[in-house]
Amino acid sequence: EDLAEESQASKELIAQRIRLLEEWRAWRKAVVAELEAERGGVVPLAQRGSEKEDEVIE
């Protein structure tokens, strides 16, 4: 019975995390698209020249 309860709780937790993940990603997608449109292709000085970021990490 304990095991059944535990597995039910863990299912609920997983479902909640999936929901949180999807909500966050949907919000980010909308915000990023809107900001891109507002910026009109102009990259601010603070974000220029940092394109070498994908170095291999040991």
Q: Is 27 in the site for other proteins (CB under 8 A)?
A: yes
Residue with Cβ nearer other proteins (1 or 47): 47
Q: Is 14 in the site for other proteins (CB under 8 A)?
A: yes
Q: Is 56 in the site for other proteins (CB under 8 A)?
A: no
DSSP state of 52: G
Q: Is 9 in the site for other proteins (CB under 8 A)?
A: no
- CA–CA separation, 12 vs 6, rounded Å? 10
Structure-token pair, residue 50:
């940092």
Q: Is 51 in the site for other proteins (CB under 8 A)?
A: no
Strand locations in the chain (E)? none
